[in-house]
Amino acid sequence: MSHSYRQPGVVLTDRHFTVPLDHGDPDGETIELYAREAVASDRAGQDLPWLLYLQGGPGFGANRFVGRQAWLDRALKDYRVLLLDQRGTGRSTPATRQTLPLRGGPAEQAEHLTRFRADSIVRDCEAVRREVTGGAPWTVLGQSFGGFCTVSYLSLAPEGLSTAVITGGLPSLDAHADDVYRAAYPRVERKVAAHYARYPQDVERARRIADHLLTHDVVLPGGYRLTVEAFQSLGLMLGASDGSHRLHYLLEDAFVRTPGGLELSDAFQEQAQGLLSYAGHPLYALVHESIYGQDARPTAWAAERVRAEFPQFDAAKALAGDAPVLFTGETVHPWMFETDPALRPLRETAELLAARTDWEPLYDPDRLAANEVPVAAAVYHDDMYVDTAHSLRTARAVRGLRTWVTDEFEHDGLRAGAPRVLDRLLALTRDEA
């Protein structure tokens, strides 16, 4: 049953769909998907084309907008929008430490999670599309990992698309996870250098925090064990438009003087807990590296292994000299399944996924080379999360794809630059720019 309600300027409707867990077995087990339909209040009764939004991640539900926030305002001028919680996220049969034991033990959980990659998401979208549009193709807007899914969509079911728009999400078609992270660590180092150039006082602040964590056992209020590696992973913030500023404000509140000496402040610990915990999106940690698995090679904790090739990220070595402590970026490590109480019960499941050697290809280069769907992509110069060179190489491999390469925005340009980013990309697909 669907329910409609109003927010300022928009009518929202809860939509529920039943799809196969395994699209290769359409008569087998099913799961439930949730999506939120949004339409401008003054156009609620009109027959409008549809735009499907695919969120970044993997492992995050779709944006919970209030009214016509961010890019949604621009989209509602032309479309009826469907904000899909991809399988395993949000209200779509969530996959968490609480629910996954329903599948059985770690082996059964890992096998279950192999069906939560882009190929399954695309087939979900096709099942939903036939129900929502009556079979008419729709426009897809993919942000970050949602862009990866969009490239899979162009590979697997281009007949379902009238237009494709991608922001910060053109993946390499053939890079192994090792290649992705070898390209990533130098980008992260550049972002950290830029942060320290902007806030030079943070060099010493970060060193003091790292030194404290190397000599103290710190457990945050929610049970998260704050190690120096976990602290460094706060560098994930540096890929967003306001991330450097938010990191600076976090660091300046780090210590408070107590009768027992300097301690990490409650304010710092509470903020760090919210930034580091995977309680709200555990699927991200479980399947993140699998989005780069496309052949018989295991991902095998690629980010952790490749990090060893960049010794400048070793905080203890930095503190032994006068080098700055480097933050890290969008990487998942085995130690996260020890420090985070939301992930600890899933450690063995994660190990089994990291060891898999039967990943199927997610992209079809031949079909992409023959593409006929209008496609436009925003590629952010020196994007911290998605390698620019990889993205541009893929752009050249997709027939008719038009790029907008810009250094005006970071990875979150769709949010920070709305409505300009979506407006520009739609214009490119319509040959209006």
Quick one: pLDDT at residue 274? 97
Quick one: pLDDT at residue 281? 96
For β-strands 80-85 and 138-143, DSSP reports them as unpaired
List per-residue pLDDT tens for the chain, 433 residues long.
678 999 999 999 999 999 999 999 999 999 999 999 999 999 999 999 999 999 999 999 999 999 999 999 999 999 999 999 999 999 999 999 999 999 999 999 999 999 999 999 999 999 999 999 999 999 999 999 999 999 999 999 999 999 999 999 999 999 999 999 999 999 999 999 999 999 999 999 999 999 999 999 999 999 999 999 999 999 999 999 999 999 999 999 899 999 999 999 999 999 999 999 999 999 999 999 999 999 999 999 999 999 999 999 999 999 999 999 999 999 999 999 999 999 999 999 999 999 999 999 999 999 999 999 999 999 999 999 999 999 999 999 999 999 999 999 999 999 999 899 999 999 999 999 8
Beta strands in 266-414 (DSSP E): 375-380, 402-406
Quick one: pLDDT at residue 268? 97
d(CA 276, CA 335): 13
Identify which of 389, 378, 391, 359 has the alpha carbon closest to the alpha carbon of residue 170.
391
Q: Give pLDDT tens digits for 301-336.
A: 999 999 999 999 999 999 999 999 999 999 999 999
3-173+363-429 has CATH 2.30.30.100 classification:
no
* Residue-range domain boundaries for the chain: 3-173+363-429, 177-354
What is the reported pTM?
Answer: 0.97
Tokens linked to 73: 């305002």
For residues 153-178, b (16+ Cβ closer than 10 Å) or e, as one string? Answer: bbbbbbebbbbbbbbbbbbbbebbbb
Do residues 233 and 328 lie in contact, with contact meaning Cβ atoms separated by under 8 Å?
Answer: yes
Quick one: pLDDT at residue 433? 80
- Annotated catalytic residues are 144, 358, 411
Quick one: pLDDT at residue 1? 62
d(CA 16, CA 55): 18
Quick one: pLDDT at residue 109? 98
Alpha carbons within 13 angstroms on the beta-carbon side of residue 16 total 9
Q: Give pLDDT tens digits for 141-174.
A: 999 999 999 999 999 999 999 999 999 999 999 9
Do residues 142 and 46 lie in contact, with contact meaning Cβ atoms separated by under 8 Å?
Answer: no
DSSP 61: P
